[in-house]
């Protein structure tokens, strides 16, 4: 039997073409190659795309290549108008393309495509075209200038189709050429061109792009939560990682500032404050509202730097642990009179000394305090100090809008509190990579980053390598896999982020590579692991000792 592509038909095809497909499959010898419905796309000289398709391409190493155009039904040709028609059993006529022009045009396109593939001046085999009318047994008085050399066949030739093809190719045989491409190599060229084997695995970069659209649709639901609480001055919003606390904090602060309420948006983490400020400045600049920040109507700063702006101290000499008490003394002497609303993100990071000061910062009348927090990410404090702040109305967020379901399922065994749901896409299962004896984390991370960027097509700036320690880590280098590294905060394109879990709190990246968890010394292991894993929105890779 010949090599036939496809070897079986998954969908119905015209009866006329099926008859030829069956005849070729059953009546050709083993040396033949048969390709049904070969297709190609080319660019014309004026830059337009052109798509072509033939009915059958057959090839034999000793005889050559033939393109066969198949027509069913009766055939009518009107020489006065140069029009072609096909007629059905009822005698109804329908216009069709000139089968001779169609067959010869397809042959020219196929020859040109094959020559361009191998940079050939001409093909190393005999080639030509032919036409088969499967609904007729005799051509009768049919004549046409191009109907020469027996290139037109009827149903009578189907049982003897091999003999007919060989005879037609004998008529098309041209002069010998000096092309060094063998017939066997030419057969492989045909298969590579018209029936190429494909094995392209899904790329994480593409998955991230698609999944990101889903998250964007879901995230709009978060803002509806603010509407029902707009009149409540003091709210403690509790939610697990990915519930949108940071976005909601930014939105709340922006709404208050736009309403004419001088607002401080703050947090513990310097990198997170920088990220929030950059995002807000970019958005406000697009909307010609940057005056909100320039005028001080909206202040975005981590609380340590905000406190230092109120204190007359030498920042090089100060003991950072004394800042809360110094600020408290300052507020007792000169209370805050301008800021009317304080919005705090990652509130679980602050200890009891800070909450005493925050209450002193508040203007006593007509002020607002909104705290967004997650006790599960309390890697600086043992107790939930936010729960002790008086006068707060609690509100719970229960939907994880950041993480895929696969990452969410990884988080839930580490989570304490009201169960969260993840309405986002399924995502890939997390990866685990075991360090081999004598192998460093940097070696493994180098291989992973190279794969992610070059094979999985993930932009470098969408990858963050996280570790619990800077002091004992070998990951803080200038380049990984030939790609420059950077800290978190104001992210530059095409650079991989390398950061500690502590400094990366409140931020996220599509891909997180988590390393060196065995080196952590200070934080609660469950909370630290929960915090780290939750930074990955789409894919998690954990390097294990």
Q: What pLDDT, in 10s, does the model give residues 333-380?
A: 888 888 899 999 999 999 999 998 888 888 767 789 999 999 988 888
Main-chain dihedrals φ then ψ at residue 295, nearest 5 degrees: -80, -10
Mean pLDDT, residues 210-220: 60
- Please state whether beta strands 39-43 and 536-544 pair in parallel, antiparallel, or not at all (unpaired): unpaired
Asked if residue 397 has pLDDT above 70, the reply is yes
Asked if residue 219 has pLDDT above 60, the reply is no
Res 413: pLDDT: 92
Of 61-70, 316-325, 349-358, 466-475, the range with the lowest mean pLDDT is 316-325
The per-residue b/e assignment along 12-26, b for 16 or more CB within 10 angstroms, e otherwise, is ebeebbbbbbebbbe
Single pTM value for the model: 0.66
Asked if residue 218 has pLDDT above 60, the reply is no
Asked if residue 196 has pLDDT above 90, the reply is no
Q: Dump pLDDT digits (tens) for 130-159.
A: 999 998 887 766 666 667 768 899 999 999
Choose between 490 and 56: higher pLDDT.
Answer: 56
The mean predicted confidence, pLDDT, of the chain is 87
Q: Dump pLDDT digits (tens) for 94-103.
A: 888 888 899 9
Res 221: pLDDT: 58
Q: Are 535 and 509 within 8 A, CB to CB? A: yes
Mean pLDDT, residues 213-226: 60
Res 212: pLDDT: 67
Q: Dump pLDDT digits (tens) for 253-294.
A: 999 999 999 999 999 988 889 989 988 998 899 889 999 999
Q: Are 252 and 343 within 8 A, CB to CB? A: yes
Choose between 172 and 149: higher pLDDT.
Answer: 172
Mean pLDDT, residues 182-186: 88
Asked if residue 450 has pLDDT above 90, the reply is yes
To the nearest whole percent, how much of the chain has pLDDT over 90? 45
How remote is the C-alpha of 103 from its chain's centroid?
Answer: 42
Strand partners, 40: 52
Res 129: pLDDT: 95
Res 213: pLDDT: 62
- Please state whether beta strands 83-87 and 93-96 pair in parallel, antiparallel, or not at all (unpaired): antiparallel
Q: Is 120 left (phi over 0), alpha (psi -120 to 50) or beta?
A: beta
Mean pLDDT, residues 239-260: 89
Of 308-322, 404-418, 524-538, the range with the lowest mean pLDDT is 308-322
Mean pLDDT, residues 106-132: 90
Of 21, 33, 313, the C-alpha closest to 161 is: 21
Cα–Cα distance between 422 and 537 in angstroms, integer? 11
Choose between 183 and 466: higher pLDDT.
Answer: 466
């Amino acid at each position: 039997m010949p090599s036939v592509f496809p070897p079986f038909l998954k969908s119905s095809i015209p009866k006329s073409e099926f008859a030829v497909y069956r005849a070729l499959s059953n009546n050709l010898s083993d040396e033949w190659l048969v390709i049904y419905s070969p297709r190609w796309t080319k660019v014309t000289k004026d830059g337009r795309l052109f798509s072509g398709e033939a009915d059958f391409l057959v090839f034999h190493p000793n005889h050559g290549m033939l393109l066969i155009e198949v027509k069913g039904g009766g055939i009518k040709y009107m020489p006065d108008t140069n029009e072609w028609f096909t007629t059905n059993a009822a005698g109804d006529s329908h216009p069709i393309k000139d089968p001779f022009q169609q067959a010869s045009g397809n042959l020219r396109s196929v020859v040109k495509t094959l020559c361009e593939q191998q940079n050939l001046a001409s093909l190393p085999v005999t080639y030509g075209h032919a036409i088969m009318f499967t609904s007729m047994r005799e051509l009768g008085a049919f004549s046409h200038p191009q109907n020469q050399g027996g290139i037109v066949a009827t149903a009578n030739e189907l049982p003897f189709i091999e003999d007919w093809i060989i005879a037609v190719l004998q008529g098309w045989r041209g002069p010998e050429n000096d092309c060094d491409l063998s017939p066997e190599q030419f057969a492989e060229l045909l298969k590579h061109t018209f029936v190429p084997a494909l094995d392209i695995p899904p790329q994480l970069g593409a998955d991230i792009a698609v999944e990101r659209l889903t998250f964007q649709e879901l995230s709009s639901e978060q803002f509806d939560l603010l509407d029902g609480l707009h009149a409540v001055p003091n709210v403690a919003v509790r939610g697990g990682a990915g519930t949108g606390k940071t976005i909601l904090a930014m939105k709340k602060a922006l709404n208050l500032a736009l309403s004419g309420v001088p607002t401080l948006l703050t947090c513990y983490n310097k990198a997170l404050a920088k990220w929030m400020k950059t995002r807000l400045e970019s958005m406000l600049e697009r909307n010609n509202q940057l005056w909100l920040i320039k005028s001080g109507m909206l202040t975005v700063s981590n609380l340590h730097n905000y406190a230092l702006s109120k204190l007359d101290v030498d920042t090089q000499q100060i003991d950072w642990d004394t800042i809360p008490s110094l600020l408290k003394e300052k507020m007792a002497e000169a209370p805050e009179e301008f800021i009317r609303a304080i919005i705090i993100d990652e509130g679980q990071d602050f200890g009891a000394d800070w909450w005493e000061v925050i209450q002193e910062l508040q203007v006593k009348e007509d002020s607002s305090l909104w705290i967004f927090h997650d006790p599960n990410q309390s890697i600086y404090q043992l107790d939930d100090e936010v729960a002790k702040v008086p006068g707060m109305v609690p509100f719970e967020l229960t939907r994880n809008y950041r993480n895929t379901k696969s990452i969410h399922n990884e988080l839930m065994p580490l989570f304490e509190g009201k169960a969260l749901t993840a309405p986002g896409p399924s995502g890939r299962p997390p990866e685990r990579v075991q360090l081999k004896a004598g192998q460093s984390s940097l070696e493994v991370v180098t291989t992973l980053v190279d794969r992610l960027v070059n094979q999985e097509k993930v932009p470098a700036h969408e990858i963050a390598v996280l570790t619990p320690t800077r002091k004992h880590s070998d990951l803080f280098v200038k380049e990984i896999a030939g790609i420059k590294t950077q800290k978190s905060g104001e992210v530059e394109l095409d650079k991989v982020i390398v950061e500690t879990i502590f400094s990366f709190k409140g931020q996220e990246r599509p891909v997180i590579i988590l390393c060196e968890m065995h080196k952590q010394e200070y934080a609660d292991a469950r909370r630290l692991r929960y915090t780290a894993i939750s930074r990955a929105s789409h894919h998690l890779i954990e390097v294990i000792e």
